[in-house]
Amino acid sequence: MRFVHTADWQLGKLFGRFGPEVRNALADARFDSGDAIEAFAVNIPTMPGSTS
């Protein structure tokens, strides 16, 4: 089994000091980064000799 560990996503963070347009862009960027991490994780090559 393989996994990629990430931390401190602060999914509930509201970005209150920014205007609505920037807040929405920051929230979208947070989830876009999750998509990028997922794409990376599924394409990590298996190490030679690995059983996973």
Q: Whole-structure pTM over 0.85, yes or no?
A: no
Is pLDDT at 5 greater than 70 in this prediction? yes
Q: What is the DSSP letter of 3?
A: -
Whether the Cβ atoms of residue 26 and residue 15 lie closer than 8 Å to each other: yes
Is pLDDT at 10 greater than 80 in this prediction? yes
Question: Between these two residues, 9 and 3, which has the higher pLDDT value?
Answer: 9
Residue (of 29, 8, 9) closest to 18 by Cα position: 29
pLDDT tens per residue across span 26-36 = 999 998 999 99
CA distance 29 to 41: 18
The pLDDT, as a whole number, for residue 15 is: 93
Question: Between these two residues, 9 and 26, which has the higher pLDDT value?
Answer: 26
CA distance 50 to 41: 16
